[in-house]
């Protein structure tokens, strides 16, 4: 009889507590959803996420200025001399760009531009890292900033609206990595672009040895 009585109480218990149970389910779902939403929002603020495909040749418009790749150099095995840590000999890839600033673009704004290299699997390499890469560029007469470069008498030369300005990015690639199929990307802080997180993605032209 006790078993029958206990069994008959079950439907009543669920009915009396259904509001509490529903609330618990909602709170449990929110406990998972809210952190995920916040992490996605933070990622959108801090990481480029909206790709703009650049033209294979010629100029491409991005953030009020025109950009293009002027040339690519690939030096297999040259990376051993530029890293700050022991590693197998990699390869040095140099991407030479030109930017033609728009009317509202300032040298200070352009200097916030950054670069990276990406392959088909999603691997990414930031430009001019480690620090010795940027120094090696400058030693060879190349400039690694998008809007300014060193001039005579310690006066910096600034990019001017409508005039092509040269800059370069260097990448240290793992052994065996070839430039074919890689893409070079330029981006500004994601929260400053329109739309947010937009970046310019170039197919790499054939590299000069």
**Predicted pLDDT of residue 35:** 59
Q: Please state, in angstroms and rounded to a whole number, the distance separating the CA atoms of residues 128 and 135.
A: 8
- Residues 6 or more apart whose CB falls under 8 angstroms from that of 177 comprise 90, 91, 119
Residues of the chain below pLDDT 50? 1-6, 9, 36
> Taking a C-beta distance cutoff of 8 angstroms, is the pair 200, 56 a contact?
no
Q: Which residues pair with 61 in a beta bridge?
A: 66
Q: Residue 30 and residue 86: Cα distance in Å, rounded?
A: 47
Predicted local confidence at residue 98, as pLDDT = 98
Residue-level pLDDT at 9: 47
- Can you give the pLDDT at residue 133? 74
Quote the CA–CA distance of 73 and 205 in Å, as a whole number. 10
pTM equals 0.75
Structure tokens that stand for 171 in this block = 């990448």
């Amino acid at each position: 009889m006790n078993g029958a009585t206990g069994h008959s109480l079950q439907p009543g218990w669920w009915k009396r507590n259904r509001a509490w149970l529903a609330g618990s389910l909602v709170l449990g779902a929110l406990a998972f959803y809210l952190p995920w939403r916040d992490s996605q929002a933070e990622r959108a603020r801090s990481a480029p996420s909206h790709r703009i495909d650049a033209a294979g040749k010629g100029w491409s418009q991005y953030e009020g200025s025109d950009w293009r790749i002027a040339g690519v150099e690939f030096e297999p095995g040259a990376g051993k001399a530029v890293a700050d840590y022991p590693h197998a000999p990699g390869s040095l890839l140099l991407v030479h760009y030109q930017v033609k600033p728009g009317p509202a673009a300032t040298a200070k704004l352009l200097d916030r531009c950054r670069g990276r290299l990406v392959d088909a699997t999603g691997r990414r390499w930031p430009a001019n890292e480690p620090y010795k890469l940027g120094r090696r560029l400058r030693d060879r007469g190349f400039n690694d900033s998008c809007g300014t470069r060193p001039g005579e008498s310690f006066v910096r030369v600034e990019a001017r609206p409508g005039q092509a300005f040269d800059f370069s990015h260097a990448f240290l690639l793992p052994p065996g990595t070839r430039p074919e199929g890689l893409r070079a990307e330029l981006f500004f802080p994601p929260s400053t672009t329109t739309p947010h997180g937009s970046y310019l993605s170039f197919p790499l032209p054939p590299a000069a040895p």
